[in-house]
Amino acid sequence: MDMLRRIDEIWEEIEAGEAEKALLTAREVAEQNPREPAALLALAAASWANESVEECRTAAEHAISVLRVQKAAEEKSQLAYAIGWLARVEWRLWHFRKAEDHLREALGLGPEHPWLWELLAQILERTNRREEAAAADRRAQRLDEEHYPLPVRFSREEAEAALQEALDALPEEFQSAAGEVPIVLEEFPALRMARAEVAGELPLAPDILGLFFGVSLADRSFFHSFEPPGAIFLFQGNLERMCGDRQTLVEEIAITLEHELAHYLGFDESAMPGLGLD
């Protein structure tokens, strides 16, 4: 019972945003209970919350090996969940085909976790299978309408009008900066934009909402004099997936713009909370 109580604590800590605390607890619980799938799945979740994707993969693979040995019918839901974590890891690393293979296997087991369908929809969307993606989104919605509403789609003209409205509403300190750098509306980010600058670091996530791509003002020197100022990219497909109506779209574009303009001005991620942009 103590193990189950501590696993509940891990999930509560993740929900509360206490990711590091959750991971420490999860590692301890999994070490003490190496044959308990629930402990291993909690470790996968805590690792994911800390962007430790390889630890997430290891925990999920361990859970899968335990569950396959048990072969109990009631464990199918946990097995689907564990395989789903492998899909998330591959998706996070931009290995969309591998992620899809894992999702198909997980969904083929029978239990239907709505997040598996929603992740499949994202992958199908990114690989230009839009009708299949829409069907997967509808499946997720039917399973959990409250947490998985259908994405609201906007025309290019509607998205550009929302962008202009967001630009007009920018705080004064960002207005001049917005006029200095191109702002480009794209459907999705490309992998070349997301690749890590430092070897061994994770690429940016495929569902990023925006990105400043180039050399910031703070880092520019004489040697950059003849280079373009870079550009801010906003990704309509990813914004649509999290914005249920036009007003939310405008607000989210404004938040994303301010964040990326701060990067253009030379602020890194550690400075964002101080700017109110975390």
Per-residue pLDDT of the chain (278 residues; tens, 9 = 90+): 588 999 999 999 999 999 999 999 999 999 999 999 999 999 999 999 999 999 999 999 999 999 988 766 568 899 999 999 999 999 999 999 999 999 999 999 987 899 999 999 999 999 999 999 999 999 999 999 999 999 888 899 999 999 998 888 888 878 877 788 889 999 999 998 888 766 678 899 999 999 988 766 655 544 445 556 678 899 999 999 988 788 888 889 888 988 888 877 766 655 445 445 55
117, 108 Cβ separation under 8 angstroms: no
CA end-to-end span of the chain: 38
For the stretch 43-50, contacts whose Cβ atoms lie closer than 8 Å and that sit 24 or more positions apart, written own/partner, are: 44/82, 44/85, 45/10, 45/11, 45/14, 45/85, 46/10, 46/13, 46/14, 46/19, 46/22, 47/23, 48/85, 48/88, 49/14, 49/19, 49/22, 49/23, 50/19, 50/20, 50/22, 50/23
d(CA 240, CA 260): 18
Which whole-number Å values give the CA distances from 218 to 109, 224, 262, in the listed order? 52, 11, 11
Nearest to 261 by CA among 197, 170, 161: 170
pTM of the model: 0.87
Tokens of 93: 């690393």
Q: At what angle do helices 96-108 and 114-126 cross, to 10 degrees?
A: 150
Nearest to 125 by CA among 146, 158, 150: 150
Helical segments of the chain, H only? 2-15, 19-32, 37-49, 53-70, 76-92, 96-108, 114-126, 130-143, 156-168, 172-178, 191-194, 236-242, 246-265
